[in-house]
Chains A and B, each alone.
Chain A
Amino acid sequence: MSTTKEARRLDSAQQTLDILYDISQLLNTQLDKDTLATCIGMIESGVNPEALAAVIQELRRESSSLNQTNNRQARQ
């Protein structure tokens, strides 16, 4: 009984995540499914969505700058 309920819950969670992923693709956010799931989880736990967006943004910027330096170092 409880297992079927649990299964249904999981199923619907999976569906929700799929839908959100579709929207994310549509909006071209370049998030993979795991990251998205994490983010949604954070939002569900009360994180400000816009701040979170800024975080992602910041991290990406950081990543690209690191890449650039790495490349440069690699070239050198």
Chain B
Amino acid sequence: MNLSRDLEFLVDSVVPQARDNDGLRDELAQHCQDILRSHIGQNYDPDLGHLTTLVKKHLLQHSPSGSSSVKFTNLLSRLLDQSVLTRKHAAILFLHSLASSQPSQSSQLAFLPSLDIPPSRQPFSHAPRTPIEVSNGMATAKGKGKSRAQILSEYRAKMGRPPLPEQRLLRDALYLLQGISGKHVHFSSHKDNGTHLVNELSFVTDPKYEISEATKALIHRLSEVGYLYKRVQTYVKERENVAEMGMIEQSLCHHLQARLTDYYRFIAVLESQMSGTLASESPSAPEEEIGLTLRRLDVWINDWRLRMRMMSVCVESARDSHGGALVNIIHGYTENGDPFVRKFTDQLLEDVSKPFFATLHKWLFSGELYDPYLEFFVAMDPSLAHMQYAHPSSLSGGINQLSSDGGFAGPFNDSDDMSGDREGGLKLWEAKYKFQKEMLPMFVGETFGRKIFSTGKSLNFIRYSCHDSDWVATREKMNNTGGSLKYSDIAGLERSIDAAYQVASGRLFDVFLDKFKLLDHLRALRQYLLLGHGDFADQLMEALAPSLRRPANTLYRHNLTATLETAIRCSNAQHDPQDVLRRLDARMLEYSHGEIGWDVFTLEYKIDAPLDTVVDPESMVKYLQLFSHLWQMKRVEGILSIGWMRASKDVESFLRIADLEQEWHRIRLASAEMLHFVRQMQAYSQLEVIECLWKELCEFLQKKEGDLDAMIDAHRSYLDRMVKKMLLVSPKAGKEYNVLNQVKEVFHDILQFRDAMDTFYNHCLSESARRDRGLDGERGVVTGLEGDSDKSQELLKVYQKVKEYSSSFSDRVHSIVQSLQSHSDLDVRFMGTRLNFSDFYRSKREHPTQRGTLH
């Protein structure tokens, strides 16, 4: 056989003695064959580059100049050019392994002492055969120079307390990593001052062996992981038994459990490594390549140390916070500068935030809050949970309500249901769900949190109170097929939030404007309660005036509503939609003794769910307030108009009292002044306040921006500003209604003036008749009973009253103008200027003589 011949040749050439000795040669050849058949070098790696590097390294160690390494590169490239050899790599490997097993290798070990197993724990007898020669060679080369470690270990050996073999400690260390006390090292905990539980590591003192301080420190370092592991594991175990546990905590536990399983796997690998170490005591395999040592353990466990630390921190924080707050705490660690920790926390968060995103998905796309453990940042008020935004009174007429005729069976609906049940809509909208900032995960951000909150609320609202759940369901289905929400895709999350927000808000606007005709109702409120329909208001006033003059307790509601119907039918209001007209109602406020119809009459517009979310009862009160103000103005204007006709036309036609001409002229002047006042007030209210604000509101509603909250706010500000401007509310605290009260007194003066004027007119009429009779008597015609005395004294007395009222009016208007001039609102101030056109009401002191009042 070729191989054996080659071998024999080799034996001959290397061992010259065997040339003559056949027995020796055969023996050696046999031995060589055994070696070749053994498993040495079965697993070399076929990477020529790596091998080249190894060879170069070897060369550099022997000749640091680098010239031989260059030479090697040169030779190698030439060798590669040759075509004869098929196994160049193997040839080089052969040469290299031969070279590196030369005795000179000993110096290599000396170069890298850190990789060597510490001599203190490696008794000399254990060293493989070649290193024996090496160390012997070294010892002889260095002569008497012994390293300190050697001296120390020799000393220890002399004292009879050799260091504990590392293998035993390793076994213990592996136990420690699993949180179990080992044979030589224990976990122990004792109470410190009776309060603090101190965990520490205790070493069993063995008289036979000694553990060096350095090793102890190493063990301490290793045992940290074990301690942390114990903590995490205890937490997970503990939580397994808790029934009421939040979903976020559950997923945290799940993630931790998964990590712990990885950890077990890792420990198992370590253990197999260790058994490898035990087995590899055979000389053939160099120990430093595959074995496990404490130091290696320390290095390998490093990653896990970091992981365990993070896990234990999470566990600690999970004890006293839950839900979104927990996510927040974990999120805080993602800002860590260490990419390893960051990656770990990201993974953790990805898992932990899963239930959060599931809840979020449900909330964002279907408006349902599924949060059994109160972990979401949206919380539901449990007392309102079962209220479904529906008007309670509609329970009887639910079908009616769905067909949007408002559930008003007739105008005689009991008006008292205003107070309690009707505040449902807005309260429900505002209070059913609460935004909890501390539960909001930070990676979402508060703006987006608000958007999410509002989106879900809108959907919920659409679903339950607008009875449009089909739409929501369809959308939910559409979104289920789309991408899911994840922590790792925050940008996508924000996009979906934005999209969902837009869609939900847009839909809510559509529902309100199209389905529930919010705009129609708001317009109706403006036309009826704010007297936008002038003809309707005139008609109503005219029809109602006679009955309103009577005491309040003689008024009957059916009369009022009948009159209202008449007024509607006589005016353009009849063209309004039936749904709107049906809601209009006339009624009386609570009245007390002595009040007349004018004081208690009010129009009313009924708004039902869900529109009462926007037009809530509170704003209805404001509407009514405005109505009563405008209604009063209207009344005063009407009365003044009648008075004006009397003072101008009737006086001309029926009264022929030349000496009272001047008095009547003055009355006309005063009336004109009052008319001016009232008309300016009316024009201001209608044109500058209502119209302008209405335009703003319409523009907002057309833009369809924002959510229901924005809509509520827009309406509220529309109404508030109207109240503020029309009722001339001043910003000074405590004096808000000063001007309004003055205006009311002015109205009162005007009414009094009109009454006095009527009385005066009547007296004038009778005086005129008396004079006529006198004239008739002179002519010899007896037209009535004689005996009337001259009434001019009485006439003057009555006139005095008229004068009194008009001057009081003038004074009051004067002071109103004064106070309006310093009003903070520009529109109001401008109104004051118009009242005081051409400086009519100049201050008394400046022009006491030029005032245009009656004297």
Residues of A within 8 A of B (CB): 9, 12-13, 15-16, 19-20, 22-24, 26-32, 34-35, 38-45, 47-60, 62-63, 66-67, 70
> In the docked arrangement, what's the CA distance between A20 and B82, Å?
11
B592 within 8 A of A: no
Partner of B40, one of A15, A26, A54, A56: A54
Residue B421 lies at the interface, judged by CB distance under 8 Å to chain A: no
Chain B residues with Cβ below 8 Å from A31 are 98
Q: B interface, by DSSP: helix, strand, loop or mixed?
A: helix
A41 to chain B, nearest CB (A): 7
B10 with A19: CB separation less than 8 A: no
Further contacts, 18 of them, CB under 8 A, given A38-B13, A67-B17: A9-B84, A19-B79, A19-B82, A23-B76, A23-B79, A23-B92, A26-B75, A40-B94, A50-B94, A51-B35, A51-B36, A52-B36, A52-B94, A55-B7, A58-B31, A58-B32, A58-B35, A63-B15
Main secondary structure of the interface of A (DSSP, over half): helix
Q: Tell whether B78 is near chain A: CB-to-CB under 8 Å.
A: yes
Contact among B24, B38, B82, B91 with A15 in the assembled complex (CB-CB below 8 Å): B82
User: Which chain B positions have C-beta within 8 A of A12?
Assistant: 82-84
- With A19-B75, A41-B6, A59-B11 known to touch, is A27 a contact of B82 (CB < 8 Å)? no
Q: Does B95 contact A (CB under 8 A)?
A: yes
B202 lies within 8 A of chain A by Cβ: no
Partner of A63, one of B9, B17, B79, B83: B17
CB closest chain-B residue, reference A49: B94
The verdict on A42 contacting B6 (CB below 8 Å), with A29-B95, A29-B99, A50-B97 known, is yes
Q: How far is the CB of B736 from chain A (nearest CB, A)?
A: 102
Establish whether residues A45 and B2, one from each chain, have CB atoms under 8 Å apart when the complex forms.
yes
Chain B proximity of A61: nearest CB distance (Å) = 9
With contacts A12-B84, A27-B96 taken as known, whether A51 is within 8 angstroms of B91 at the C-beta atoms is no
What are 11 inter-chain pairs, A to B, with CB distance below 8 A? A16-B85, A20-B79, A28-B62, A28-B104, A45-B2, A45-B3, A47-B3, A49-B94, A53-B41, A56-B14, A63-B14
| A residues less than 8 Å from B97 (CB atoms) | 49-50, 53-54
A67 to B38, CA, bound (A): 27
Shortest CB-to-CB span from B273 to chain A, Å, is 23
Q: Which 6 A-B pairs rank lowest in CB-CB distance, beginning with the nearest?
A: A50-B41, A49-B94, A27-B99, A53-B97, A63-B15, A59-B14
- Among B13, B38, B68, max chain A CB count under 10 A is at B13
Bound-state CA distance A23–B95 (Å) is: 8
Closest chain A residue to B5 by CB distance?
A38
Give the number of A-B contacts (CB < 8 Å): 142
Residues of chain A contacted by B76 (CB below 8 angstroms):
23
- Return the CB mask of B86-102 against A: 1 if under 8 Å, else 0: 11001111111111011
Decide yes or no: A26 and B96 within 8 Å by CB, A38-B6, A66-B17 being known contacts: no
Query: Does B639 count as interface, using CB distance less than 8 angstroms?
Result: no
Q: Is the CB of A29 within 8 A of B78?
A: no
For A54, the chain B residues whose CB sits under 8 A away are: 35, 40-41, 97, 101
A70 x B82 contact (CB < 8 A)? no
CA distance A48 to B36 in the complex (A): 7
B636 at the interface (CB under 8 A from A): no
A49 touches B84 (CB 8 A): no
Residue B71 lies at the interface, judged by CB distance under 8 Å to chain A: yes
Q: Are B14 and A38 in contact (CB under 8 A)?
A: no
In the bound complex, how far is the Cα of B40 from the Cα of A50, in angstroms? 7
Q: Report chain B residues within 8 Å CB of A44.
A: 85-87
Determine if B503 is an interface residue (Cβ-Cβ < 8 Å): no
A31 to B510, CA, bound (A): 96
B327-357 vs A, CB cutoff 8 Å, 1 = contact: the mask equals: 0000000000000000000000000000000
Residues of B within 8 A of A62 (CB): 15, 28
Q: Which residue on chain B has the smallest CB distance to residue A12?
A: B84
Given contacts A56-B10, A58-B31, A59-B28, contact A20 B36 (CB under 8 A): no
Expressed in whole angstroms, the Cα–Cα distance for A47 and B761 within the complex equals: 143
Which chain A residues lie closer than 8 Å to B98 at the CB level?
27, 29, 31, 53, 56-57
Interchain CA distance A47-B5 in the complex, whole Å: 14
Residues of B within 8 A of A28 (CB): 62, 99, 102, 104
**CB proximity of A5 to chain B, nearest CB, Å:** 13
How far is B68's CA from A24's CA once the two chains are assembled, in angstroms? Answer: 12
- Min CB gap A18→B, angstroms: 9
Instruction: Determine the distance from Cα of A55 to Cα of B31 in the docked complex, in whole angstroms.
Output: 8
**B524 CB–A CB distance under 8 Å:** no
User: Could you tell me if A35 and B95 are in contact, using CB atoms closer than 8 angstroms?
Assistant: no
> Which residue of the partner chain A has the closest CB to B101?
A57
B16 close to A (CB within 8 Å): yes
Query: B55 contacts the other chain (Cβ, under 8 Å)?
Result: yes
**Given the complex of chains A and B, what is the CA–CA distance between A45 and B76 in angstroms?**
21
Alpha-carbon distance A48/B11, docked complex (angstroms): 17
Type the 1/0 row for B16-40, where 1 means its CB is closer than 8 Å to any CB of A: 1100000010001001100110101
CB distance from A3 to the nearest CB of B (A): 18
Smallest CB separation, B807 vs chain A (Å): 129
Contacts of B99 in A (CB 8 A): 27-29
Give CA–CA (A63, B79) in the complex, Å. Answer: 32
A49 adjacent to B72 (CB under 8 Å): no
Complex CA distance for A9 and B91, rounded to whole angstroms:
19
Residues of A within 8 A of B40 (CB): 48, 50-51, 54
With beta carbons under 8 angstroms apart, the residue of A26, A34, A67 that contacts B68 is A26
Q: Which residues of B contact A66 (CB under 8 A)?
A: 15, 17, 24
Q: Does B111 touch A at the CB level, under 8 Å?
A: no
CA distance A38 to B55 in the complex (A): 22
CA distance A22 to B98 in the complex (A): 15
The answer to whether B71 and A26 touch across the interface, beta carbons within 8 angstroms, is yes
Contacts of B104 in A (CB 8 A): 28
Distance (Å) between the CB of B315 and the closest chain A CB?
50
Q: How far is the CA of A60 from the CA of B3 in the complex (A)?
A: 19
Specify which of A35, A45, A70 is in contact with B10 (CB 8 Å cutoff). A35
Which residues does chain B contribute within 8 Å of A63, judged by CB atoms? 14-17
In the assembled complex, the Cα of A66 lies from the Cα of B14 at a distance in Å of 12
Residues A39 and B85 in contact, CB atoms below 8 Å apart: no
